[in-house]
Amino acid sequence: MKKDLSIAFIGAGNMAGSLIGGLIADGCNPSRLAVSDVDGEKSRLMHERYGIGSRPTNLAAAEAADVIVIAVKPQAVAGVARELSRVAGADKKLWLSIAAGIRTHSLETWLGGGAAVVRAMPNTPALVQSGATVLYANPRVTAAQRGAAESILRAVGLTLWIDDEALMDAVTALSGSGPAYFFLIMEALEQAGERLGLPPQMARVLAVQTAFGAGKMALESTDSGPAELRSRVTSPGGTTERAITVLEQGDLRALFQRALVAARDRSLELSRLLGESDG
C-alpha cells in the first residue's frame, strides 16, 4: 500500500480500532488515518489512543480520504452511504466495506453509482490480529486499489480474494461465523473434562491451549491437511481412535454440513433484507 494514502474510518467500533491498531503496528503513519462516528466520544477516544485524526462528521472524514472504510453496523450503511454520496464521484476514491451482509451493488446504488467498492468479510479474531478476511472487488476497483484494500485487512491477519460475490455467503458461514463453532467445541471439551473430574480452571486451560496448538500445527504444516494431521495423532487401537470413532458415529461431519448450510441460507436472507430495507 502506498504510504501516502489517506484512510478514513466511518465508525469507531472494535473492528475499526483493530484495523487502525494493525495498520499503525505495520508502519502506517497515524497522521494518514482519521475516524468519525455519530458518538463523538468514541472518535475522541480513538484519537487519544492512536494519535489519528478525529473528524466532526462523516462527510469531513470522507472528503479528505483516498480510502473510506465503512465500519458501521449493517443497518446503518444505507444512511451513511447516501450521506456520503456527494463525494463518491468527486475523484477516484476506494470504498471498503466491512459491514456484514451488504452487497456491493447495494452500496454502489446508495453511493450514487460508479463507485469503486471492495467488500470484505473479516472475522472476530481480527481483533487480536489473527483474522481471516475474504475480499471481493467490483469492476471499477483498480489493481492499486485492490492492493490498498488487501494491505488494510492484512494488517489483522490472512486475506483471500474471490471473483464471485455469491461465494461471500459461504465465506460468512465458514469463517465469519466459524469462531463461534470453535468456541462451542472448546466449551464442550471443558464441560466434558469437568465431568471426568478435572478442576474447572484446568479443564478450561487445557481445552483452550489444545485448540490453539492444533490450529497452530494446521497453519504451520505446509505439506499436510487436517485429515493427515489427525491420522498422525490417531494410533490404531489407542485412546484417540476410540474418541474419534464415537464422534464419527454421531455423524459430526453431516452435522457441520447442515450447520454451514443453515448459516449460508441465513446470510442470503439477511443480505436481501439489508439491501431492500432502505432501498
3-state secondary structure of 71: coil
Residues 80 and 190 in one domain: no
Residues 44 and 129 in one domain: yes
Residue 245 in domain: yes
In the chain, the N- to C-terminal Cα span, in Å, equals: 34
The tens digit of pLDDT for each residue in 107-148 reads: 999 999 899 999 999 999 999 999 999 999 999 999 999 999
Residues 214 and 257 in one domain: yes
How many domains is the chain built from? 2
Q: Report pTM.
A: 0.91
Task: Tell me which residue range forms the domain holding 212.
Answer: 176-266
The tens digit of pLDDT for each residue in 190-236 reads: 999 999 999 999 999 999 999 999 999 999 998 889 999 999 999 99
Residue 147 in domain: yes
Q: Look up the CATH number of the domain holding residue 248.
A: 1.10.3730.10
Residues 60 and 152 in one domain: yes
Encode 75-94: b = buried (16+ Cβ within 10 Å), e = exposed.
eebbebbeebeebbeeeebb
Residues 46 and 146 in one domain: yes
Residue 277 in domain: no
Last residue of a domain, one of 147, 166, 185: 166
